[in-house]
Each structure stands twice: as C-alpha cells, then as structure tokens.
Amino acid sequence: MEPAGVVARGRQARARLRGDEGVALRRWIRTWNAMARWTRYEVHGLEHLLVDHPVLVVGYHGRPIAHDLCMLQNVLYARLGYLPHPIFHAAFDKNPKTAAVLQELGFLLGDDQRLADAVARREHIFVTPGGTAEGCRSFRHRYQPRWGRRTGYLRLALKYGLPIVPVAAAGTDDTFLGFNDGHAWGKKLGVPHDMPAWLGVGLVGVWPLAVPFPVKIRQVVGPAIDLQAQGPVDPADREALQALHRRVVGAVEGLLARARGGAGAEPGGEVRR
C-alpha cells in the first residue's frame, strides 16, 4: 500500500493538470505521454519509487536522450504530485528561453540551492552518470554502461543522505541508429559546452528531425541501495567510492539484462501503453 502522503500528492497533481498548470509542464506531460503510447512503454518495480522520502534515481542513458526516464517522470508526477528533478546538461542553460523552460520544469544543473530545496521537500532527483557520452554512441555499443570511474553521483547521495534507486530499460538503445561516438567527435570538432556531434537516424529522418523508431521500451526499477548500510562512508575515500560505484553499475547491468530478457515484471509494477 502506498503511503498516505504519496496518495494525496498524486491527487493534487491530477487536479493541477485539469486546472491552470504551467504551459511548459503541460506540454512536457503531453509529449511524453504520447511517446509512452508510441513506444508501448512499461515500467516494473515502480513501488521502489512510491515513497514519501527523496531518493537519487540513477539510470542508464539510452539513445540519444533518456526516453525511459522522461516517461518515468510522467508516471511519478501522476503518482507523487511533482515532476522529479533531473540533473541536466549545463549547455541548455546558455539560452535564456531554454533556461526559463527548464527552470519551470524543475530541472537542475548540479548541486545548488535548488537541489537542496528539492531534497528538503522530499522530492526525487534523477541522474545519468553516463550522460551524452553514453547516449550518443555507435550502434556497435548498446546496453553497456559507460560511466568510467565517475563517482560524483555517489558524493551527492552521501551529502544529502539519499538512497540510490537504479533504473534501466530495454528498447532505449534501439530508438535511433547511431553511426559515431558523438562525445569524441564533439571534442575533435570543438563543439562548445562539451556537447556531442552525433549522427543518428530514426524513422524517416536524421536526429534531431526524426522521430524514434517505434520500439517497445520496457523499464525496470530496482530496489534502493543504502550506501551506508555497512557503516559511514567518507566521500574522500576513493577506494570506498569505487567499491560502491561497482555495486551500482552492477545493479544497472543486471536490470538491463532483465529488461532485455523480458523478465522485468515484478508484483506491483505499473504498466503504461
């Protein structure tokens, strides 16, 4: 059974969408609801996120954007009463109009006061450690986390006392067909703000002008990982962070395998089509 606070917040969210909600939010909800129908989106293990305390959702970044996490935002908006806060690429804050839209949606650019305020409101934070380096790759590299030794997300979780909830999905690397390493090409070509130079094709066109192929996206949410279950962790202890990092990467790899094998369904999982 969902906590009473979760149920109440979900009702408030549905009431706001029927009323005078912000234009950007209404468009975001409609766009990703349409994408959920296009991809026959399913999410399993949703009960791990229907909690009345904040968590750090750590996900795999599919091609070339995290379609499944955007659709998961919509599901959680309806159930929790708020749009979870993804930590976005800082380049999108350079344009004032884009920055205004992202701010209305509650997107974050890093560890700042807005993030601290979201945690204080008991709202979930989304992060994809692989970022565009993971999302904008060739078709030769599919469903393989590319996180390197990045542990910033772990330091963030430790700072705010957030459990980590791993998420991954099948279908996300099949929405577009990529032909190059966009991150490497972006560096070679000197693309500003560390943006990728990625060549990918979708249905009847080239990204970003094409729509994704209508592949089915099956998402699996794993159980929360308590980073300090075995005792306090010093954020400056690189060896301890790498051990936790391997654990989280392993959890995401396991979820990818389950989702791709069609064995992601769990009792209580919600399905959207």
The answer to whether 263 touches 42, Cβ cutoff 8 Å, is: no
Radius of gyration of the chain (CA): 18
Closest listed residue to residue 196, CA positions, set 176, 219, 212: 176
Tokens describing residue 264: 């992601």
Contacts of 155 (CB under 8 A, 6+ apart): 235, 241
Determine the pLDDT at residue 9. Answer: 59
Chain mean pLDDT for the chain: 90
Q: What is the mean pLDDT of residues 46-55?
A: 97
Among 8, 96, 59, 28, smallest CA distance to 248 is for 59
Domains in the chain, start-ordered, CATH in brackets? 4-178+216-260 (3.40.1130)
Q: How far apart are CA 273 and CA 267, in angstroms?
A: 18
d(CA 58, CA 101): 23
CB atoms < 10 A from the CB of 147, how many? 20
pLDDT by residue (tens digit) across 75-99? 999 999 999 999 987 777 677 778 7
pLDDT in tens, 158-194: 999 999 999 999 999 999 999 999 999 999 999 988 8
Distances in Å between the Cα of 31 and the Cα atoms of 8, 67, 176 are 25, 11, 18
pLDDT at residue number 100: 84
Question: What would the mean pLDDT of 58-86 be, rounded to a whole number?
Answer: 96
> Looking at residues 14-29, what average pLDDT do you find?
72
Cα separation of 181 and 2, whole Å? 43
Return the pLDDT at 199: 97
CA distance 269 to 19: 29
Containing 202, the helix (H) or strand (E) segment is: strand 200-202
At 81 the three-state DSSP class reads coil
Q: Which residue has the higher pLDDT, 266 or 100?
A: 100
Confidence band (pLDDT; 50, 70, 90) for 16? low
Q: What share of the chain is helix, strand, coil (3-state, %, to 5)?
A: 45, 15, 40
pTM of the model: 0.89
Mean pLDDT lowest for which of 13-27, 43-57, 236-250?
13-27
Mean pLDDT computed over 218-245: 96
> Which pLDDT score is estimated for 267?
45
Pairing relation of β-strands 56-59 and 125-127?
Answer: parallel
For residue range 241-265, what is the model confidence (pLDDT) as tens digits?
Answer: 999 999 999 999 999 999 999 855 4
Q: Is the pLDDT of residue 5 over 80?
A: no
- Under 8 Å between Cβ of 167 and 58: yes
Q: Is the pLDDT of residue 268 over 50?
A: no
What is the predicted pLDDT for the residue at 94? Answer: 72
Whether residue 124 is predicted with pLDDT greater than 50 in this model: the reply is yes
| pLDDT average, residue stretch 43-59 | 97
What type of residue is 39? T
Residue among 88, 116, 119 nearest 101 (CA)? 88
The pLDDT value recorded for residue 40 is 97
pLDDT for 14 beyond 80: no
Q: What is the pLDDT of residue 97?
A: 79
What is the side-by-side strand order in the sheet with 125-127? 42-44, 218-221, 164-170, 56-59, 125-127, 85-86
